């Protein structure tokens, strides 16, 4: 499995160098963290051939973040899948957020980095115009359930996908099927992406838990199509973004 | 086969790249094996050659000088065989930037390939178009991208010279 990344820079100028750096970064992340590659640091650590302390420092950073997310989500987020080390659930959001930081270091303040429907959005889509993200209806992809607009925000959606469940309830090892999808909006894609994954695994407890997490808002679509939102989804959360519900 | 397209268009720089990142984490257990095994069958038909596992490495190519023609051109990738049937992807390029990606052929019993990656492509995506809301920049949704889709997309990007 793979996914498609896209990067859009909305600032005027020549961003060749910045984009080259981002591409190099994403390839580095792929080579280091892919569980598909037998020679990746993660695969070697999993086989006991490499110590975390001897690996690239980013590995320790990611595993620390995984541990923190596991704690914050009460164990619903986990980096051990089927007995194997697999931090993929955090790596995508983290690498996208860092790619956005890299673009900022190059001077870009208005851009989007999108990896398979999870995105970190910087600044505005055009002068005076905030970014607007549609939340796809998991049961009808041609329909947008809700939109979220804002500046400097992150949006991630997790859930049952085209080929059925792909989130595992870590305590039972069974596929999480209560929910169709969970979308989370906040400022940091690292957290937002992991929260969306964890909330999907939680099932019916997702909404209450999302309410309890500071700085994020969530939209939960049940497997029966019911839509529930955190109280702040319709208002401007602390991050400066606001969401509207439609349809 | 991880290749990149890159384009600079006056005030907008956009890039699309295919990487072997897994989507949300705990898929290893729950994903039907069928979805993974389709890679083996698609490898041979991939326009870009070796796509064996989806984690293949390759050179990245990028270029900042693109023709500045303002007319759109479409490029169709080679069909990639999957266990469900062929998948074929078409990209539309304008002024050196990808403006849309669509599946022109996909297995009838797996029609979602038609829309899946519209989520990853900003601006022009089916959900936004269906909603009739031109203000939607992107769509967030849980995605699964088949190896067949990726290899045909890569082939189309190769043909576009991006």
A–B interface: beta-carbon pairs under 8 A: 282
- The pLDDT of residue B19 is 59
Which residue range(s) make up the domain with A87?
5-245
CATH number of the CATH domain containing A64: 3.10.520.10
Whether A12 and B11 lie within 8 Å, measured CB to CB: yes
- Res. A235: pLDDT tops 80: no
Q: Tell me the chain A residues in contact with residue B29 when contact means C-beta distances shorter than 8 Å.
A: 81-82, 168, 173, 175
- Find the closest chain A residue to B111 by CA distance: A162
- Find the closest chain A residue to B113 by CA distance: A162
- The pLDDT of residue A216 is 94
CA dist., res. A71 & res. A22, Å (int): 30
- What average pLDDT does the segment A67-95 reach? 91
**Tokens encoding A214:** 């500071």
- The pLDDT of residue B96 is 64
Which residue did the predictor score with more confidence, A140 or A49? A49
- The pLDDT of residue A142 is 65
- Find the closest chain A residue to B27 by CA distance: A166
- Three-class SS state of B55: coil
- Three-class SS state of A134: strand
C-alpha to C-alpha distances, A103 to A16, B74, B105, nearest whole angstrom = 11, 29, 36
Which span out of A82-96, A233-247, B42-56, B70-84 was modeled with the highest average pLDDT?
A82-96
Q: Tell me the chain A residues in contact with residue B15 when contact means C-beta distances shorter than 8 Å.
A: 5-8, 19, 22-23
- What average pLDDT does the segment A65-85 reach? 91
Write the residue in A118, A143, A200 that is nearest to B127 by C-beta.
A143
Which residues sit opposite B85 in a β-bridge? Answer: B82
Among A177-181, A193-197, B121-125, where is mean pLDDT lowest? B121-125
Whether A92 and B6 lie within 8 Å, measured CB to CB: no
Q: For chain A, what is the mean pLDDT?
A: 86
Q: What is the pTM of this model?
A: 0.74
Write the residue in B60, B113, B150 that is nearest to A23 by C-beta.
B60
Whether A116 and B145 lie within 8 Å, measured CB to CB: yes
Whether A10 and B147 lie within 8 Å, measured CB to CB: no
B45 and B81 Cβ atoms separated by less than 8 Å:
yes
Whether A142 and B54 lie within 8 Å, measured CB to CB: no
Q: Residue A208: pLDDT band by 50, 70, 90 thresholds? A: very high
**Tokens encoding B155:** 């082939």
Q: Does B52 touch chain A (CB under 8 A)?
A: no
pLDDT in tens, chain B (162 residues): 333 333 322 234 455 566 555 543 332 222 222 222 222 222 222 222 222 222 223 333 333 334 444 678 888 888 887 766 777 878 777 766 666 677 777 665 554 544 444 443 433 344 444 444 557 777 887 765 666 777 777 788 778 776
Q: Do the interacting molecules here have an ipTM over 0.95?
A: no
Whether B16 and A156 lie within 8 Å, measured CB to CB: no
Positive or negative CA dihedral for B21, B22, B28, B33?
negative
- Find the closest chain A residue to B135 by CA distance: A132
Q: Tell me the chain B residues in contact with residue A160 when contact means C-beta distances shorter than 8 Å.
A: 142
Q: Tell me the chain B residues in contact with residue A5 when contact means C-beta distances shorter than 8 Å.
A: 15-19, 21, 120
Which residue did the predictor score with more confidence, B20 or A222? A222
Among A71-80, A173-182, B45-54, where is mean pLDDT lowest? B45-54
The number of angstroms, rounded, from the C-alpha of B100 to the middle of its chain's C-alpha atoms is: 10
Q: Does B104 touch chain A (CB under 8 A)?
A: no
The predicted-structure confidence for A116-142, as pLDDT tens digits, reads as follows 788 999 999 889 989 988 888 887 766
User: What residue spans of B43-79 are helical by DSSP H?
Assistant: none
Closest to A218 (Cα-Cα) out of B76, A237, A201, B100: A237
**Tokens encoding A51:** 């110590």
Tally of domains within chain A: 1
The number of angstroms, rounded, from the C-alpha of A67 to the middle of its chain's C-alpha atoms is: 16
- List the beta strands (DSSP E) in B20-130: 72-76, 80-82, 85-94, 97-105
**Tokens encoding B54:** 């989806």
User: What residue spans of chain B are helical by DSSP H?
Assistant: 27-30, 33-42, 113-116, 126-131, 147-159
Q: Tell me the chain A residues in contact with residue B32 when contact means C-beta distances shorter than 8 Å.
A: 163-164
Q: Tell me the chain B residues in contact with residue A11 when contact means C-beta distances shorter than 8 Å.
A: 11
B46 and B103 Cβ atoms separated by less than 8 Å:
no
Write the residue in B2, B140, B147 that is nearest to A157 by C-beta.
B140
Q: Where are the domains of chain B?
A: 4-159
Q: Tell me the chain A residues in contact with residue B115 when contact means C-beta distances shorter than 8 Å.
A: 141-142
∠ CA A144-A147-A153, rounded to 5°: 135
- Exposure of B105 by Cβ count < 10 A (0-12 exposed, 13-18 middle, 19+ buried)? middle
Among A178-182, A193-197, A228-232, B147-151, where is mean pLDDT lowest? B147-151
The number of angstroms, rounded, from the C-alpha of B61 to the middle of its chain's C-alpha atoms is: 16
- The pLDDT of residue A170 is 73
What phi-psi label fits residue A40: left (phi over 0), alpha (psi between -120 and 50 degrees) or beta? beta
Which span out of A167-171, A176-180, B96-100, B106-110 was modeled with the highest average pLDDT?
A176-180
Give, for B12, the enclosing helix (H) or strand (E).
Answer: strand B12-19
Q: Please name the residue that has the structure tokens 């209560």.
A: A178
- The pLDDT of residue B7 is 32
- Res. A40: pLDDT tops 80: yes
Task: Collect all residues with Cβ–Cβ distance below 8 Å to B153 and sequence separation of at least 6.
Answer: A4, B18, B77, B89, B91, B101, B117
Task: Collect all residues with Cβ–Cβ distance below 8 Å to A192 and sequence separation of at least 6.
Answer: A93, A118, A154, A155, A156, A184, A185, A186, A216
């Amino acid at each position: 499995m793979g996914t498609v990344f896209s990067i859009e820079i909305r600032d005027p100028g020549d961003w060749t160098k910045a984009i080259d750096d981002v591409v190099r970064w994403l390839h580095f992340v792929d080579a280091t963290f892919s569980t598909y590659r037998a020679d990746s640091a993660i695969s070697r650590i999993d086989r006991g051939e490499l110590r975390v302390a001897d690996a690239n420092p980013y590995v320790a950073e990611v595993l620390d973040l995984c541990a923190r997310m596991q704690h914050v989500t009460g164990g619903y987020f986990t980096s051990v899948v089927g007995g194997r080390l697999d931090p993929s659930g955090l790596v995508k959001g983290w690498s996208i957020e860092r790619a956005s930081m890299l673009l900022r270091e190059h001077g870009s303040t208005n851009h989007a980095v999108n990896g398979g429907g999870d995105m970190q959005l910087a600044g505005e889509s055009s002068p005076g115009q905030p970014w607007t993200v549609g939340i796809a209806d998991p049961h009808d992809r041609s329909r947008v359930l809700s939109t979220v607009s804002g500046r400097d925000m992150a949006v991630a959606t997790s859930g049952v996908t085209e080929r059925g469940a792909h989130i595992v309830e870590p305590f039972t090892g069974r596929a999480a099927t209560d929910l169709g999808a969970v979308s989370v909006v906040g400022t940091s894609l690292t957290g937002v992406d992991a929260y969306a994954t964890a909330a999907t695994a939680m099932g019916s407890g997702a909404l209450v838990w999302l309410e309890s997490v500071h700085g994020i808002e969530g939209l939960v679509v049940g497997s029966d199509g019911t839509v529930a939102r955190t109280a702040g989804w319709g208002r401007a959360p602390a991050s400066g973004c606001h969401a509207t519900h439609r349809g | 086969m991880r290749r990149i397209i890159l384009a600079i268009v006056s005030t907008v720089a956009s890039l699309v790249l295919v990487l072997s990142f897994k989507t949300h984490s705990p898929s290893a257990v729950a994903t039907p094996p069928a979805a993974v095994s389709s890679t083996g069958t698609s490898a041979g038909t991939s326009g870009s050659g070796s796509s064996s596992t989806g984690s293949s490495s390759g050179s990245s190519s990028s270029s900042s000088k693109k023709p500045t023609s303002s007319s759109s051109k479409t490029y169709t990738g080679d069909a990639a065989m999957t266990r469900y049937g062929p998948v074929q992807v078409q990209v539309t390029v304008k002024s050196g930037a990808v403006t849309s990606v669509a599946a022109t052929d996909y297995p009838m019993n797996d029609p979602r390939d038609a829309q899946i990656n519209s989520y990853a492509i900003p601006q022009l995506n089916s959900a936004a178009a269906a909603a009739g809301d031109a203000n939607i920049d992107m769509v967030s949704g849980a995605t699964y991208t088949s190896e067949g889709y990726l290899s045909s997309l890569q082939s189309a990007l190769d043909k576009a010279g991006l």
